[in-house]
Every structure is written in structure tokens, then in C-alpha cells.
Amino acid sequence: MDDNILRILEKEKNNVSRAKIAHMLGISDAEVDAEIKKLEDNNIIVGYKTLINWDKTDREVVTALIELRVTPQRGEGFDKIAERIYKYPQVTSLYLMSGAYDLAVTIEGRTMKEVALFVAQKLAPMDDIISTATHFVLKKYKEEGIVFEDDEKDTRQVITL
């Protein structure tokens, strides 16, 4: 049952009520509430998020993806470095990666200069960081499975007999 609830929550995001989940699974609302509470208590469900298309608002937001090559700390690996980085409020996501770089950081700021200064003043000077590569997001088409603007037009031609 946990797996089914998790799949529904992941697919439907915040657009599904607990009563609808109960109906979909053929169980009671109380059972759904108890299962979700258990999943939250066990830190399986770690939060709920509203996804906003900031391009449709007056708020200016600049998003950047930063590749970091780092030297892992003896006995700590990448965890201590990651902990120092994810504590900054500008950091919206942080991933340990395989491949050409070690950590992928997503940050948000009001301007490109603000983002650049964050990288130059906060990230690059850290002892364990070997190099950084900053990529600015120019437009978001899809995030977390949600398409921001779906302008698909029906391009089929009308056939008359």
C-alpha cells in the first residue's frame, strides 16, 4: 500500500486529496492518513512542494547549475562538503554525481551578478573545491515532470470526403 500511495502522490503532486487516494485504492480515509503519517515519520515523504513558473510573475529569478570538482575529505567523503554547501539559502538542490564533476549545485538569485558573486565569494574559496563551472538557465521547459508551457497545436490536416 505504501508504494501505491507514494506513486499517486508523486504523479499527482499536490493535486490529489487523501479522500481521492482512498477511493483510488479502495481503502478508508483513515488508513490513507495513517499510511501517509507513517511515511512522513520515517522520512520517506520529506516534503511537499508547489512548482511555480516564475517567468509568468513580476519576480525576477535567475537559476544557475554549477558543476563542482572537489577533493573529498578523509573519512568524510563528500558529505561534509555537501553539508557546508546545502546550508546556504541560495542552494535549491545539490547532488553527488558520477562523471566529469563531483557535485551539481542548483542555486537561485535575483540577478546573474548575484549568482556569480555567490560562486566567487562562497563556493570557489572553499578549500576542498578544485574548480567550478556555472551554467545559467535561460528558459525552463519542464521541471519535476511538469511541462511549463504546452503549446502543442493539432497539426493534422482536415480531410473531407
Q: What is the structure's pLDDT at 119?
A: 95
Q: What is the structure's pLDDT at 157?
A: 73
pLDDT in tens, 100-138: 999 999 999 999 999 999 999 999 999 999 999 999 999
pLDDT in tens, 56-110: 788 888 999 999 999 988 888 899 999 999 999 999 999 999 999 999 999 999 9
pLDDT in tens, 38-70: 998 998 988 887 777 777 788 888 999 999 999
| Cβ-Cβ contacts under 8 Å for 101 (sequence gap 6 or more) | 67, 68, 69, 133
- Residues 87, 91, 94: CA angle, nearest 5 degrees: 90
- 131 closest CA partner among 68, 65, 72: 68
Q: Max alpha carbon distance in the chain (Å)?
A: 76
- Residue 76 host element (H or E): none
**160 confidence band (pLDDT: 50, 70, 90):** confident
- 126 closest CA partner among 65, 75, 91, 82: 82
Q: What is the structure's pLDDT at 152?
A: 61
| Cβ-Cβ contacts under 8 Å for 107 (sequence gap 6 or more) | 63, 64, 66, 88, 90, 91, 92, 115, 118, 119
Give the mean pLDDT of the chain. Answer: 88
- Residues 39, 42, 44: CA angle, nearest 5 degrees: 60
